[in-house]
Structure formats: C-alpha cells, structure tokens
C-alpha cells in the first residue's frame, strides 16, 4: 500500500527452527513451497504455529488450485495463496472462491488454527487480509494475462522467470522472452495489481514490487561464505605469489 518493495524468502524445509530464523530475519513474507517440496500441511501448520507473531507473513504456494489444498492452506494460517501455472482462468477463480468466506467466496469454517493465530475476529477480517498470487509460467498464461490480472480477487501477478524460459524455449534478453514479460507487466499494472518476479529483478526491471527470494540452503551457503570471508578476506581468492609489502594481499 505504501509502494515499497516486498521480499519473501523461500522455505522448503520442515524444520521449525529454520522457519523461525527466516521469519525473523527481515523478510516481509515467507514463500512456503508446497508445489516442489515434500512438505505436508502438518509440517507447515507446525512451522507457522512455532513462529506465530513473526514479522514475515506466511504465504503458501499450493500444489494446485483445488478446494482441498486452498482451504487447508488458509485453515493452518496462510495469509497469501500462491497459485502455480495459471493458464486457465478457472484456477484463479478457485483460489478466490475457496480462500474467501461468503459472500465473496465459498470457504467453509473449519477447525484450523487460524483463530488461535489471529484472534476471534478472524472471520470478519480474513477476506480483506488474504492475498491471492497468480503465477504465469508459460506463453498460454501470458496470452491471457489481462484476463488473469483483471479477475476480481487477484492481488498479485507473478512473472515466473525460469519457467517462462523453459516453456517458451527462449532466454532472458531474447525478444521473444522479453515480449512475454512485457505482456504480463502491462496487463498487471494496467489492472492496478502488484507485479511480482524473482529477487534478481528488483534492481534491473521497473514496475516489479513483490519478489521471491532465495531458499534456506542458499541463505545458509551465503551466510557461511560471508562469515568465512569476514575472518579471512582472501579465503576464496585463487592462490598466488607471496604479497608485496604495501600492496593489497587479496588482489
């Protein structure tokens, strides 16, 4: 709402300690990856509960836009539902239908942990606080980007960088690839929705404000490397001749 960039770390591990470390590290949200990981709803429920009250909001990329997946995700506390491979408008309509209570949608009231997480007024406020993210990952989805972005209830449209290349057969920078991204961008911003993409695009492409950041393994690797470099700045540089007094030893 303030026009600031939003960044989320990606979670694929069921370890609550790792989840909490990421949830309190400065991310705005956590992209809990249930499409391409073995995470179960029991795993994710425990993770969200273990770090209730954390700054990062829990978003779940569900395996598919089914009633079961979406309702389980919101019942365990997801405040964002990420729908993969949207190239059929019914997918995103299902997301809105089953993530939102009547009269907006058809979400039923269950016995999930949402009430314990967010309070007794959850039912009254849920529809205004659960965000729907539509992922466009192939040329078919890009071709209907305007319809996807204009669908009532959609908040964010995500241009999936890797899969756009995989499905189109073109690389970033090639005209055909860039045309797909431009189509998604123009449709999303034209509909007044937020435009999303990978964190690598934050400073290289205009119009994007919602970003998927690295996963826990990449963050651990980067943290370890930074820690080792701090104590030994030359550690990762190739070995060379002995340094000359007065010169940079790491050159």
In whole angstroms, what is the distance from residue 31 CA to residue 59 CA? 5
- Distance, in Å, from the CA atom of 85 to the CA atom of 63, rounded to the nearest integer, reads 10
Q: Any idea which residues carry the catalytic annotation?
A: 36
Residue matched to tokens 């790792």: 18
Dist. CA 53–CA 190, nearest whole Å: 35
How many other CB atoms are found less than 10 A from the CB of residue 20?
16
E strand residue ranges, the chain: 6-11, 29-33, 57-61, 80-83, 131-136, 156-159, 194-198, 208-215
In whole angstroms, give the CA distance from residue 2 to residue 15: 33
């Amino acid at each position: 709402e303030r026009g600031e960039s939003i960044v989320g770390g990606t979670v694929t591990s069921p370890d609550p300690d790792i989840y909490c470390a990421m949830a309190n590290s400065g991310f705005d949200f956590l992209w809990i990856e249930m499409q391409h990981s073995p995470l179960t709803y029991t795993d994710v429920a425990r993770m969200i509960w273990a770090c209730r009250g954390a700054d990062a909001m829990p978003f779940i990329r569900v395996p598919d836009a089914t009633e079961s997946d979406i309702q389980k995700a919101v019942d365990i506390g997801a405040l964002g539902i990420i729908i993969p491979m949207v190239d059929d408008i019914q997918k995103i309509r299902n997301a809105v239908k089953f993530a939102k209570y009547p009269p907006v949608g058809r979400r039923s009231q269950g016995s999930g942990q949402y009430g314990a997480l967010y309070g007794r007024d959850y039912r009254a406020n849920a529809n205004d606080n659960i965000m729907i993210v539509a992922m466009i990952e192939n040329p078919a989805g890009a071709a209907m980007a305007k319809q996807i972005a204009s669908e009532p209830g959609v908040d964010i449209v995500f241009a999936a960088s890797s899969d756009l290349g995989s499905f189109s057969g073109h690389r970033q920078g090639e005209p055909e690839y860039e045309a797909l991204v431009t189509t998604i961008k123009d449709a999303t911003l034209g509909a007044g929705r937020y435009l999303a993409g990978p964190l690598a695009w934050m400073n290289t492409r205009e119009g994007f404000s919602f970003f998927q950041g690295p996963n826990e393994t990449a963050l651990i690797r980067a943290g370890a490397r930074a820690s080792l470099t701090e104590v030994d700045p030359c550690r990762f540089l190739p070995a060379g001749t002995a340094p000359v007094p007065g010169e940079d030893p790491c050159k």
